[in-house]
Structure 1
Amino acid sequence: MFFSLGLPFHLARNPYYREAFSYATNTPNLSGYKPPSYNKLRTTLLTTERSHVENLLQPIRNLWNQKGVTIVSDRWSNPQGRPLINFMAITKSEPIFLKAVNCFGDIKDKDFISQQIKDAIMKVGSSNVCKAATKGAKKNNVTYDQCSWITQIADYANFIMRHSMRLSMYINFNSLKLLFVAPTRFSSTIVMLKRFGSLKEGLQKMVISPEWSTYKDDDVGKAKKVKETLLDDIWWDKFDYILSFVAPIYDVLRKTDTNMTCLYLVYEM
């Protein structure tokens, strides 16, 4: 009763609770029965109940390595106003609650959140986890900060666009503008990648041009690095590979970004 209904253990100390049980057990079949004590509920019986729940969950865990797991987290506050973060393991069969983190007094930035997600992944088993999903504020958005590869592209774009002479060279070889990651814009990272890919030919012509080679500024080493990267076929293969699997996700998000009924579109796609 305590565990299934979530009753507080201190109820076992309530005299009315004990009197009610004494009255209910005043029958030949239940004569002499005493309800579990407060200490037994929070020690021996709690351990037994946990083992029972773990046994019930084991068939679900056995499917993790077959169907994969999504780690989901969500922030909320308990009745006392303490900030908590819940972590769940979601599968096609049933979800399992992993842990609740009391983050009172902690700075809930991207480093703190990512560490908690990492701990949840290790608890589930990294080989079983397909992805992690969390609802976070702008300061917890790790897409731009943590992906060094995308940061490199943005860095190269800044190097080209934020200097008048390099910008003039870029305009001579490209008809489209470079785009930047905008945290407030929808899927701006993917939009930026798609634009960068469409500029490949113009960017390569720019860095092999005499203007790029003869132009000297205060960062010759950076200009050489940009040239080597943009002419590297392996680097572009990696670019195409990443874009190949994020572009379909972007297309689905764009088609479903509407107030109208759109679930049938997902099924069709």
Structure 2
Amino acid sequence: MFDHMVWDKITISCDGWTNRNGRPQMNMLHISRHGELAHRHVDGSNETKSAVWIAEHIMKDIEERGPPNVLQFVADNASVNPTRFATNVIMLDKAWTLSSSLRRMVISDRWISWANDPQRPPQTRTDAREAKETILDERFWDKVHDIVMMMEKIFVLLR
């Protein structure tokens, strides 16, 4: 095994997922100033994933190490993933709202001067050209509008 003295003052990290059969799985990692250890894998094939199930396994690791030796634990917060998705839709909605301003911006003399400045790295000039093409493309804005309208209906449904 390993020397418990070396593995004092650890962070316990757990990362969970659901396998293709819909059963919970979880990896328990221990991290110290000396490195990382994949401590154990939890197969929850005969379990129901719940906060209690996760907490039981975290508590087991804390007890194994001794509470004074555990500084913190870090868990995968999959529950925040829908928020990250919603953020993308909110950003598209804001882009839709600002579409006229964005169009005016990319055809302005100031933009053209900035985007074509030979002092800029070639990749920046390429990105600026592609951004301008996208912003001036009506099909792009049609798709943005369709996505925003569709997601608005889904958000209302989920509330």
TM range (shorter): 0.3 to 0.5
Q: Highest CA radius of gyration, 1 or 2?
A: 1
TM-score normalised to structure 1 length? 0.27
**When you count helix as a share of all residues, which structure comes out higher?**
1
Greater RCO, CA 8 A, separation 6+: 2
TM-score normalised to structure 2 length? 0.44
